Amino acid sequence: MCDKRGCEVIMQDNHHALILGASGGLGAALVAQFLADPTITNVFAVSSQVRPDFSAMPEGLKSKLVWITCTYNEVSMAQVADQLTPYQGQFSRVCVCHGLLHSDTLWPEKRLEDINADALHEVFQSNTVVPTLWLKLLFKVLKGSTPCVVATLSARVGSIGDNRMGGWHAYRASKAALNMVLKNMAIEYARRAKNVKLMAFHPGTTDTGLSKPFQASVPSGKLFTPEFVASQLSNIMSDVEPDGLLSYVDWNGQTIDW
């Protein structure tokens, strides 16, 4: 069997999904989405949180799930990559779901006087540094003959071309930086792991803890459930093939201006 590029596709038995940042609103919905997907063999969920109580989950789904805790320093992340090495080349879906917009101690800036070095570091750590380290550390795990789509949760506000309102300095800049890292990674992965397709994904405003304080201004019908977005992303991932390029798309599969 050959793919669109005429390269021989070696069929493997296992097609695993890997969800990084699995306890968030979108991460948890993606875990559920891929557990329910019969084409996915196992779902590996990585989170800083302990494994939730899945006792009510049907046995067939529960047995598909592998929960791994990680503190997101580079040593702990490298240990996760080591743990996944026996499954090298068997991942077909990877979702990088880390993101931070606000917390008890930080709030998105409305004007430049609100910019604070500690908040900048914290937001960049979650939105840019952690996803970058995953793409470095997982390179050997993802490389192989199984077509593997890696969707990293970005945001439309990370688009420089689309920025008309300003504000949210740390969040916007950290997502723009993430997009550039992904572009760089796509160039290197295209050379060194041709089976991997990278995607920067904007979920639209989704009803999670991250968007909660900002939902009042969302137009009716434009606040999505995490389940809807997980299903959209899964469909979009199924429709793409490794082409050596980075795609920047929204929940509807529409391309976003850089």
Ligand X SMILES: NC(=O)c1ccc[n+]([C@@H]2O[C@H](COP(=O)([O-])OP(=O)(O)OC[C@H]3O[C@@H](n4cnc5c(N)ncnc54)[C@H](OP(=O)(O)O)[C@@H]3O)[C@@H](O)[C@H]2O)c1
Query: Given the rule CB under 6 A, which residues bind ligand X?
Result: 21-27, 47-49, 72, 97-100, 125-126, 130, 153, 155, 202-203, 205-206, 208-211
What's the min distance (Å) between Cβ of 149 and ligand X?
17
C-alpha span between 117 and 233 (Å, rounded): 34
**Tokens standing for residue 123:** 């937001």
Q: Where do we find the tokens 């994904």?
A: 201
What's the min distance (Å) between Cβ of 9 and ligand X?
31
- Edge to edge, the sheet with strand 16-20 lists 65-69, 43-47, 16-20, 91-96, 148-153, 196-202, 246-250
| Residues paired with 8 in a beta bridge | 2
What's the min distance (Å) between Cβ of 88 and ligand X?
23
**Closer residue to ligand X (CB): 94 or 193:** 94
**Closer residue to ligand X (CB): 183 or 194:** 183
Query: Quick check: 247 and 240 in contact, CB under 8 A?
Result: yes
**Closer residue to ligand X (CB): 49 or 145:** 49
What's the min distance (Å) between Cβ of 226 and ligand X?
7
**Closer residue to ligand X (CB): 69 or 88:** 69
Q: What is the 8-class DSSP label of residue 160?
A: S
